[in-house]
Structure 1
Amino acid sequence: LGMSGCRPGEFEAHSINGPAPPQVCKGLGHNTCDGGNFPLNPFGVDFKLEGFKWTEDLCKKDSDGDGLTNGEELGDPCCVWEFESLPLPNFATHDVSHPGVAASVSATKRTTSCSGARKPGPATTKPHDGFFNPGEEGKTVDMMINGFKVPSRHRTTYVTFAVDFDAPECIDNTCYMVGIEAIVDKRFLLHHYEVHACTKRWPEDKRGEKVGYMTHGGDLADCDIHVGTWAPGTDPMFEAPGVAGIPFGGDVGYTFRGFSLQMHYDNPGGVTGEVDRSGIRVHYVTAPRQHGLGWIEAAYLRKLPNRIAAIPPKQERYHITLVCTVTGLVEPASISAIWFHGHQLGREFQTELYRRGQRSVLWKETSWRFGDQFIYPLEAANLKLYNGDVFVSSCVYNSTERDKTTNINVATTDEMCLSRLQYYPHAGKGAQCDGNVFHGPLEKDEDLRGVYTRHAPKDYVAESLLGFKSQAPEDEAWSWDTATLRRLGRRGGRRAARGAARAGAERARALRDAARASAGAGGGRRGQGQVEASRVKAGRR
């Protein structure tokens, strides 16, 4: 395609209950539909100049010189839409055209004056600027590890560190954690890291130091509350909607005294002498928020025996799917975000929801890449979750360049399959999802939607797996705004353009760091025997 850009209809974007409209494309500012490559097309150049933000100037510009402004091509002719606002009413019917391809021209003409055009309301309760709501007393604390010399002998190294957290105002008073940012030092050596909150204080000689490897120091500080994960593109690693947060202190019964950081270092080049001083920046408020916030794992396949699931070599599309039933909710919950995770072979991710025999795609990522693991906000769609609902989460891998079986395990060259949903209100032990795994090859052009109905083993119990035991009210089988969710999916293409550009910059920065470090160091259908069901607990970590 050269500089022409990804043409509308050439790449399926996120969709719900049906195929994506033909005008949807991803990699909007790039020269292919997948994004992440250079040079940029004319719209991509202008988007970059505006700081990868949809601004009024960008909206009014005609990047490709076809006589239509970028806003007229993308459905915002009056330039009133803002990032994370509700979709404009005309988004569903506007004939979208490509703002970076002159031959692509919208058939929708502006027929009314823009005088009096209103900006849409927010699509999320998340604070518009930063982590705090207007009037909240927000506090921010940085916590760093003291310094760890990254091993060069092995490619994969897991190490857990302790960091101290002192918030005396949150002992008798209930505070709410509302955000965590990763402070990443040796970005080119960090694969990801997990953060858990601790309810006991770390011994003074452990603070900032290594306390374990795959563990978090045993019972030293009781670090069992998962609060965030960083991976490339996941920035911030946790961000609460404005009505919720993670409560601690006061009536909760415990307060946070520290955190454990489980770091996964990846050193494929055996770089020596590198000392990492990464950490976290925690944001919290001292005033109450309406709801507690938690996560449910719709898929958490991190360590599996090969007899349960593994990825054979030379497979262009091989899926591993977890089917699980939701339990543990104290009341119907609102889903506010979703995040997928895999390793080097991951290409597609999807989570469907079954309720009373009906199926809907919650979110689908058809061009996933490890370097841009974006957290997708879903609060605008008013997604409600009930006990008895069923998740079907699929991870699709491409192993054509592998000569051996790839395991589901923790090493960089292994694979994982994670689908994590953020929800509120959260109380007690929180929601869990227990279920079964099946896997096998997919045809090259096979639709991932409905994978359960085509590939699940015959001995699965249809009543429970299709959500017939859902506690959703009879007259409210589907309680979310599917039209809004569909529009959010269309916006996903535009978000992906910004994410791909961010990932490209991140990769370039990592390569520069690696170069400096090296210089400093000296220089289809269900196949026979390929589908197996097994009982797996996905639950909350």
Structure 2
Amino acid sequence: MVYDYDDDADNYEIILNENITLRDIICVLLLVTYCHGYRFFQDKIPNGAIVPHPCREGDVWNGVGHENEQGGGVRNVFGLDFHANGKKWDRTLCLKDSDGDGLSNGQELGDPDCVWEVGKEPARKTELSHPGICNPWNSPECKEKTTFVTCGSNRLQCPAIHEEGTTNVTFRLPAETPVDSRETIYKCMVFDYPQDGDYHMIANEPVLDNLNIMHHILLIGCDGTDTEHPPGVPYDCAMEVDKNCVQIIGIWSFGMLGECAHKDMGFRIGRNGYKRGVIQLHWNNPERRSDYTDSSGMIVHLTKKLRPHDAGIFVVGQDHIVIPPGEELVKFNGVCSSECTNSLIKNEVKVPVAFNHMHGLGVSQKVELIREGRKIQDITYDPKYDYNTPELHIYETPLILKPGDELKTECNFNSMSRTTTTFWGDGTYDEMCYGFITYYPKENIPDPSCTAWKDVTLCAFNISDVIHGCHFNDLHDISKPSMKATYDLVMENCSPHIGCRKECLPVARRLKQSSCYRKGTVDDWARLNIEKESPDVLAIMKFYAALDSCDKELILEENAPEECPTVIKIESENVNGSKRLLPNIALFILAVCVLQWLKRL
């Protein structure tokens, strides 16, 4: 059976073939392996795109300067020399024998006379070897230097995709979809899943077209067919993929060959499952080139032999990240509280796989499972996290999550390479702190997100009216009696944008010591969500501006030294018994107090 959605020449393709082997599916990709980082460095060395793998005939080592064949992460000895040489090929680097196997880098890369220049053809393209891997790699002389070399298959190993009745669908962008010159780009496209019955998605693999820019791919399920964008038309997107498409059901990132679902579960699509989906591609274009195109996507493996359970992906972590520059260690925690899991998890679920997700500054991460105040185990733990090669934590005997469990995500960052503050965000140079936990049965966690914002689990805003002692749900609605009284009090005594009125100061002082308006998580979150939560945005914005009109005076009060009285009154008795102020002495003492206070600032 073949579905070919080709309404016009540039439309997207969906190919559904029955009983096709994995080798047949990816025959057009045989020359493509997975790489990351700055592949344009390959063009700066002779034969950089065809450096052979030392033990897999026909495969190339795309990350020539890295221990990871896909690129990224720890540099190998040639990568260290290339970097130290200013990231350029010259006679010095050419004559060097980086891997110590008796052959110069030039001899190994086809430039034995060290005359090659960028853009020109090398002297030869055959009999090449890797300049960063001692050859023969498994000889006694080289074995200790090549422990990072693996000779196993770099294709997804998933026996289920070869079983009878398994089919596959390819979802990818149209051929030669243009890539603009922005550094970070998110491109999405809606597509229709097969509707001739119910399927379980049991595996997925990436289809990688332009390796210079590919960063990661998400496969997302949509509720129904009422999407904001029509199928087959690529569009710019970021965190807001589509309001009706929010369930992540597939993920590919560098270092991953694909995903193979646990034997007892699958992601349901089709007649009684997801009818539409979205692929989201993250492009990283550090050269800001405008001449690139891409048609990457995903191969999705399906079966009509439904497994016992539908699957879902549970997201935990921290949504608020601010990392100062030049720090060796910056820590963030995000707690999915026991109160939230008690609300979100309707019955226990099983976890067969999970993985961590940070960006380039991340150095270590874990997600802890805590039950009744006691740590049970780490669901994920990457003591040496590598953004380019995420580790899947697979459990042959799935872990159990129960209502009332606590999930604590800990992310550690090193910002020594940055000169400016790094914030949470989508971009490659922003940061994130999330754990992705695959679970089943899906129906036991209908809303599979439990992230924190600072020290509050976000689901708490939905399950309780009180956060940190504040009746949060009233803060944005002037029609509520409690908020109306507070609003009237502030607007009668305070004015926005004209400074601190005398009668405003005691009002502001009292409110800013209360649970709803003192500096902290609740006040920050309330202000950030005015436009989203308030039926009268302008009135609430004026309210906060009026409330803040005495901030400077309150700060001065807070920092005033205790040993200096607010009013200094020094008097002496006149000869006639009357009293008079000694202004010079008073001013002197006041000046001393002010100097002491300034030293504290």
**TM-score, normalization: structure 1?**
0.53
Whether 2:199 is the aligned partner of 1:141: answer no
Contact 1:335 1:383 in 2 (8 A): yes
One-letter code of the match for 2:354? I
Q: Give the corresponding residue for 2:352.
A: 336
Whether 2:294 is the aligned partner of 1:282: answer no
One-letter code of the match for 1:244? M
Q: Deviations over 1:199-220 (max 9, x none)?
A: 545899943322442366746x
Which residue of 415, 420, 433 maps to 2:431?
A: 415
Change (3 A) 1:133 1:299: farther
Write out aligned runs for 1:16-31 (5 A).
Answer: none
Whether 2:283 is the aligned partner of 1:265: answer yes
Deviation, structure 1 residue 460: 9.4
Contact 2:190 2:229 in 1 (8 A): no
Deviation, structure 1 residue 198: 3.1
- Tell me the C-alpha RMSD between the 2 structures: 3.9
Change (3 A) 1:435 1:413: closer
Q: Give the corresponding residue for 1:232.
A: 254
Write out aligned runs for 1:20-419 (5 A).
Answer: 37-38=76-77, 100=144, 129-132=158-161, 134=163, 136-146=164-174, 147-152=176-181, 154-168=182-196, 170=197, 174-201=198-225, 206-214=230-238, 218=242, 222-236=244-258, 238-249=259-270, 254-299=272-317, 301=319, 304=320, 309-325=321-337, 326-327=341-342, 328-359=344-375, 360-380=377-397, 382-419=398-435
One-letter code of the match for 1:277? S
Is there any run of 5+ residues in structure 2 with no aligned partner, and where? 1-65, 79-98, 102-136, 147-155, 457-466, 470-518, 526-601
Q: Which has the higher contact order (CA 8 A, sep 6+)?
A: 1
Deviation, structure 1 residue 41: 11
3-state DSSP class of the match of 1:427? helix
Deviation, structure 1 residue 223: 2.5
CA distance in 1, matches of 2:252, 2:77: 26
Q: Deviations over 1:144-167 (max 9, x none)?
A: 211421111x21122222233334
CA distance in 2, matches of 1:410, 1:343: 10
Q: Give the corresponding residue for 1:492.
A: none
Deviation, structure 1 residue 351: 1.2
Change (3 A) 1:239 1:143: same
Contact 1:348 1:365 in 2 (8 A): yes
Q: Deviations over 1:382-423 (max 9, x none)?
A: 421111111111111110121111111112211111111111
CA distance in 1, matches of 2:357, 2:264: 26
CA distance in 2, matches of 1:267, 1:431: 32
Change (3 A) 1:378 1:35: farther
CA distance in 2, matches of 1:278, 1:29: 22
One-letter code of the match for 1:287? K
CA distance in 1, matches of 2:436, 2:212: 25
CA distance in 2, matches of 1:393, 1:63: 40
CA distance in 2, matches of 1:333, 1:198: 23
Change (3 A) 1:353 1:532: farther
Change (3 A) 1:392 1:199: closer
One-letter code of the match for 2:275? R
CA distance in 2, matches of 1:234, 1:333: 25
Contact 2:265 2:307 in 1 (8 A): yes
CA distance in 2, matches of 1:434, 1:206: 31
Deviation, structure 1 residue 432: 4.2
Contact 2:334 2:451 in 1 (8 A): no
Contact 1:322 1:394 in 2 (8 A): yes
CA distance in 2, matches of 1:384, 1:284: 26
Contact 1:197 1:260 in 2 (8 A): yes
3-state DSSP class of the match of 1:413? coil
One-letter code of the match for 2:336? C
Write out aligned runs for 1:479-490 (5 A).
Answer: none
Contact 1:350 1:363 in 2 (8 A): yes
Change (3 A) 1:201 1:435: closer
Is there any run of 5+ residues in structure 1 with no aligned partner, and where? 1-26, 43-61, 67-98, 103-126, 440-458, 462-530, 537-541
Q: Give the corresponding residue for 1:437.
A: 454
Deviation, structure 1 residue 29: 10
Contact 1:29 1:100 in 2 (8 A): no
CA distance in 1, matches of 2:326, 2:312: 38
One-letter code of the match for 1:150? V
Change (3 A) 1:36 1:423: farther
Q: Deviations over 1:217-239 (max 9, x none)?
A: 746xx423321222211321x32
Contact 1:183 1:281 in 2 (8 A): yes
3-state DSSP class of the match of 1:416? coil
Change (3 A) 1:158 1:290: same
Change (3 A) 1:244 1:417: same
Contact 2:309 2:440 in 1 (8 A): yes
Deviation, structure 1 residue 259: 2.0
Change (3 A) 1:369 1:204: closer
Larger radius of gyration: 2
Number of positions where the alignment pairs a residue of Structure 1 with one of Structure 2: 327
Change (3 A) 1:157 1:65: closer
CA distance in 2, matches of 1:36, 1:245: 38
Deviation, structure 1 residue 331: 2.4
More helix by share: 2
